[in-house]
């Protein structure tokens, strides 16, 4: 039964303290509350903005505010785990200052493009870093259960995976996105592509279009269509619109997963009335049966943020055999995103003259 699948990554037996690199909003709103709930200790923080760094340390009672990454690294070495929560372009400048062999959680995306992802991947190899990328949606309770339902054969042979979003996203909350040439796929829908990979595997190819919208002025893309090529049996599709002006009635934010024996629907609650959100939901229906809602132990925000750090700490201690979102896997998600942008540059098939 789907209700019996574990929804939370197990805790490390002897967790190391965490150093936060980057003191932005996502750290304050998600990382730190999740770590507190998971029983993980944050011992230090550093940020290029001294006021923001010191303010976070003061507000959250973090013991040490380091002037630089190198200062934190030289003080704590590999006795701490490093949470690199910075913009993608800054990652390659930070990794060289970390201790060789350290355990590191890198904020998604893994660089601004595949070239940067490859550079990050090589840096991690050269320094022997135990490195994972914070693709936390795949660690959410709903996705943990859904993935195990697929791999455990509960829905039979997997046939369909669809992501459908028709929502209103308050883009004014993210002014840093305005100058970016890659927005919707790289910053938002990368979560869905990564979770699709975790549940259905990596597709053979992709067709994609991502577009701007006059209702979101200045942003490079806020609407996306993606078709994922899994061959003749499995079908993968994404339809994303962040600019729906018609109110809550017909908004939607769902994963639909179907197989030969059953189906699941997954509601992405955080997408509604962001950042307030609604509850996540997971529903399961065996063929010929009734839909039933599966109780969830938490949500994408904030409980999913516990999983990547727990897995990293357990891997660092030898308690987990693998990193579920390690750089070796995360670079495959970056390759998929890059393929989407490559597809966007290709012409569609023209209609023949009639």
pLDDT at res. 142: 97
Q: What does the pLDDT read at residue 1? A: 85
The predicted structure's pLDDT at residue 147: 98
Would you say residue 275 has pLDDT above 90? no
Specify the CATH superfamily of domain 10-136+305-325. Answer: NAD(P)-binding Rossmann-like Domain (3.40.50.720)
Tell me the pLDDT tens digit for each residue of 231-247.
999 999 999 999 999 99
pLDDT band at 50 (very low <50, low <70, confident <90, very high): very high
pLDDT in tens, 133-171: 999 999 999 999 999 999 999 999 999 999 999 999 999
Is residue 90 pLDDT above 90, yes or no? yes
pLDDT, position 173? 87
Residue span(s) of the chain under CATH 3.40.50.720 come to 10-136+305-325
Q: What is the pLDDT of residues 164-205, one digit of tens each?
A: 999 999 998 888 899 999 999 999 999 999 999 999 999 999
Mean pLDDT across 206-214: 97
The mean pLDDT of the chain is 96
The per-residue pLDDT for range 325-336, each reduced to its tens digit, is: 999 999 999 999
DSSP string, 14-37: SPPPEEEE--SHHIIIIIHHHHHH
**Span 119-138, pLDDT tens digits:** 999 999 999 999 999 999 99
Say if residue 320's pLDDT is above 90: yes
Nearest-CA neighbor of 109 among 36, 38, 192?
Answer: 192
Percent share of the chain, pLDDT over 90:
94
- pLDDT tens track for 52-83: 999 999 999 999 999 999 999 999 999 999 99
The answer to which of 25-29, 39-43, 206-210 has the lowest mean pLDDT is: 25-29
Distance (Å, rounded) from C-alpha 42 to C-alpha 29?
Answer: 14
User: What was the pLDDT predicted at 354?
Assistant: 86
The whole-angstrom distance between residue 186's C-alpha and the CA centroid of its chain comes to 11
Portions of the chain given CATH number 3.30.360.10: 141-299
* pTM (whole model) above 0.85: yes
Other CB atoms within 10 Å distance of the CB of residue 213: 15
CATH number for the segment(s) 141-299: 3.30.360.10
Tokens of 171: 């883009």
Per-residue confidence (pLDDT) for residue 176, from 0 to 100: 85
Distance CA 184, CA 189 (A): 6
* Biggest CA pair distance of the chain: 73
């Amino acid at each position: 039964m789907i209700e019996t699948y574990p929804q939370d990554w197990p805790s490390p037996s002897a967790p190391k303290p965490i150093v936060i690199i980057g003191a932005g909003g996502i750290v304050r709103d998600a990382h730190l509350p999740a770590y507190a709930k998971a029983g993980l200790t944050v011992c230090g923080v550093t940020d290029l903005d001294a006021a923001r760094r010191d303010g976070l340390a003061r507000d959250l009672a973090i013991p040490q505010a380091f002037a630089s990454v190198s200062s934190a690294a030289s003080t704590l070495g590999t006795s701490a785990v490093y949470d690199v929560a910075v913009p993608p372009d800054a990652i390659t400048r930070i990794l060289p200052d970390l201790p060789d062999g350290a355990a590191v959680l890198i904020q998604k995306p893994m660089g601004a493009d595949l070239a940067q992802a490859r550079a990050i991947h090589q840096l991690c190899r050269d320094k022997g870093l135990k490195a994972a990328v914070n693709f936390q949606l795949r660690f959410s309770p709903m996705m943990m259960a859904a993935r195990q339902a697929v791999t455990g054969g509960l829905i039979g042979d997997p046939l369909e995976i669809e992501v459908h979003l028709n929502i209103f996203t308050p883009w004014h909350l993210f002014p840093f996105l305005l100058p970016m040439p890659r927005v919707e796929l790289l910053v938002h829908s990368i979560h869905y592509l990564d979770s699709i990979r975790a549940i259905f595997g990596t597709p053979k190819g992709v067709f994609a279009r991502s577009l701007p919208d006059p209702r979101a002025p200045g942003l490079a893309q806020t609407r996306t269509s993606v078709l994922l090529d899994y061959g003749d049996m499995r079908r993968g599709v994404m339809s994303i619109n962040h600019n729906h002006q018609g109110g809550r009635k017909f908004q939607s934010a769902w994963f639909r997963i179907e197989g030969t024996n059953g189906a699941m629907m997954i509601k992405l609650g955080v997408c509604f009335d962001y950042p307030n959100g609604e509850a996540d939901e997971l529903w399961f229906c065996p063929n010929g049966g009734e839909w039933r809602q599966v109780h969830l132990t938490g949500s994408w925000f904030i409980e999913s943020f516990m999983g990547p750090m727990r897995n990293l700490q357990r891997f660092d201690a030898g308690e987990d055999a693998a990193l579920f979102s390690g750089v070796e896997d995360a670079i495959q998600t970056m390759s998929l995103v890059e393929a989407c942008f490559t597809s966007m540059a290709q012409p569609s098939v023209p209609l023949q003259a009639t």
